[in-house]
Structure 1
């Protein structure tokens, strides 16, 4: 995979998120204030947090593109994972803030939102779903954990907007037909939105932290790699195989067994052949091969 192409595509996805969320945050915030809708204002805050998240993704992607150096010989790929963690933390904080605000609403006079709030929410749902699908596709194609986390951030906004739509609609209906408890649909929706956001933040954050802590690929994920090693002439056994994710790429440490009677030079040549074979696999970035003498068990 061409790193420059990958960087440009992922960067474009981050910028789409930044611009789109700024527009939605302003639109929903203004209309939420005009329409007296707590749910819509909460949704606007959620979109505003997405802006910060997309900026974190942009910074992480740019840092991850930096080449290896003396202090970071394996590259800077984990910068994307760190960006994903930042996005998850922001999501968690926004969820807690929305929950507190929604809870306070039950102890204050409830104002029925205006109908214009419904149109703003519907527009937000459509735009956010398009952004989710676009960024999720890019994130999966270019193995960007940060971009995929940000994409799910957008999907959480879709869920929150749907909840806001139901809450606002119920509140307006309750005010129109005189059902007092329906009027509380707007703050109830805000509370439900906060639960969705916190749950998603926990899930995404846990996964990102797991990947940052030198997560080793499971056996079922390394079948192709091990087959590539076994196909190299002179490899008699794979004694150990550790493939760890380093952001969007994989670094492999392995031990192979070769004929103990061959020369050091021949063993070294086999090791180089194994490395070349593994590097041909698209997302493998670096390989460290240790040569062992083959022993029959």
Structure 2
């Protein structure tokens, strides 16, 4: 998929999240305020954070598809996890506020809540709305593999769970147990906070250049050593640059190779590594085989001077 197609898919999915969350806020917020349901207001407020996050992703996240320029020679890939990190932070802050409001409702015993079929109707509408947005976001993200869109899709999925909790709260009001409404709001708030922390943690790793899992490192090492002209490898460094991996390695080959032969080996290794999932770029330094000891000896001699 080319960059222009990926950017179009990204934009369509972002707009779907903006519109879907706006509709959900109106439906749940109006019903919750009209009948005093903490659970519905909490779920609608959660969607306010989702709406803010969706707008940020739409406006800011699409910049990650811009091509490298003089001010960003390595591209704009880190904008995407930075956008997703902002999404996570907004979700955590709103979740903590909802947790406080729900706790107050529990202390007050859930008084002031009135049952109405419109509450259940608003929640049913919200579930259908969020499922459609989730399905569309996942579909558009196929081939794009955007972490920002993945964060929005995960949020849509969590919205389904929080809405189920809100339904339980409303049914509690119907069954003369109004305290279930703020309890449901409290559970929704905990899930919101957890979701925001998980999104932030994942994307912080992308921003600080963390290393991938040991399995990915082993896969990269195996790919390097599988080349028939490679006799060894050392000083392998693998780290995230934005959402993709950068690979740096010293590779040992026959010291009698011509410059052209060595160039071909290097190009083949770079192409092989770039073809691996998650790998964005690779930098290979070729060494004549058997010089690992020479490197250590040189360092020892230098320290003794």
TM-score by length of 2: 0.86
Instruction: Name the counterpart of 1:115.
Output: 117
Matches within 5 A, 1:137-148: 137-139=139-141, 141-148=143-150
Question: How many Å separate the matches in 2 of 1:125 and 1:40?
Answer: 12
Report the CA distance between 1:117 and its aligned residue: 0.5
Instruction: Name the counterpart of 1:46.
Output: 46
Report the CA distance between 1:73 and its aligned residue: 2.9
State the SS of the aligned residue for 1:183: coil
State the SS of the aligned residue for 1:261: coil
Instruction: Name the counterpart of 1:178.
Output: none
State whether residues 168 and 185 of structure 1, in contact with CA within 8 Å, keep that contact through their aligned partners in structure 2.
yes
Give yes or no for the alignment of 1:217 onto 2:212: yes
State the SS of the aligned residue for 1:268: helix
State whether residues 209 and 242 of structure 2, in contact with CA within 8 Å, keep that contact through their aligned partners in structure 1.
no
Matches within 5 A, 1:241-260: 241-260=236-255
Report the CA distance between 1:125 and its aligned residue: 1.5
State whether residues 27 and 126 of structure 2, in contact with CA within 8 Å, keep that contact through their aligned partners in structure 1.
no
Question: How many Å separate the matches in 1 of 2:23 and 2:55?
Answer: 15
Matches within 5 A, 1:17-28: 17-28=17-28
**Which is further off, 274-283 or 143-152?**
274-283
Instruction: Name the counterpart of 2:5.
Output: 5
Question: How many Å separate the matches in 2 of 1:238 and 1:143?
Answer: 31
Instruction: Name the counterpart of 1:86.
Output: 86
Give yes or no for the alignment of 1:130 onto 2:132: yes
State whether residues 89 and 196 of structure 2, in contact with CA within 8 Å, keep that contact through their aligned partners in structure 1.
yes
Report the CA distance between 1:169 and its aligned residue: 0.9
Question: How many Å separate the matches in 1 of 2:47 and 2:97?
Answer: 13
Give yes or no for the alignment of 1:55 onto 2:50: no
Work out the number of aligned pairs and report it. 290
State whether residues 36 and 114 of structure 1, in contact with CA within 8 Å, keep that contact through their aligned partners in structure 2.
no
Instruction: Name the counterpart of 1:34.
Output: 34
State whether residues 231 and 252 of structure 2, in contact with CA within 8 Å, keep that contact through their aligned partners in structure 1.
yes
- How far does the alpha carbon of each residue in 1:207-234 deviate from its partner, in whole angstroms, 9 at most, with x for none? 1112221122234225554454344453
Gaps of 5+ in 1: 175-181
Report the CA distance between 1:131 and its aligned residue: 2.1
- How far does the alpha carbon of each residue in 1:252-282 deviate from its partner, in whole angstroms, 9 at most, with x for none? 2222111123344432332123223333446
Cα distance change, pair 223–148 in 1 and its aligned pair in 2 (3 A) = same
State the SS of the aligned residue for 1:12: helix
- How far does the alpha carbon of each residue in 1:229-255 deviate from its partner, in whole angstroms, 9 at most, with x for none? 344453222324333333343322222
Match of 1:157 among 144, 156, 159: 159
TM-score by length of 1: 0.88
Gaps of 5+ in 2: 293-305
State whether residues 251 and 286 of structure 1, in contact with CA within 8 Å, keep that contact through their aligned partners in structure 2.
yes
- How far does the alpha carbon of each residue in 1:9-66 deviate from its partner, in whole angstroms, 9 at most, with x for none? 1221111100111111111111212222121111111112111111222234322112
State the SS of the aligned residue for 2:250: strand
- How far does the alpha carbon of each residue in 1:142-187 deviate from its partner, in whole angstroms, 9 at most, with x for none? 221111111111122111111110001101220xxxxxxx121111
Cα distance change, pair 282–190 in 1 and its aligned pair in 2 (3 A) = closer
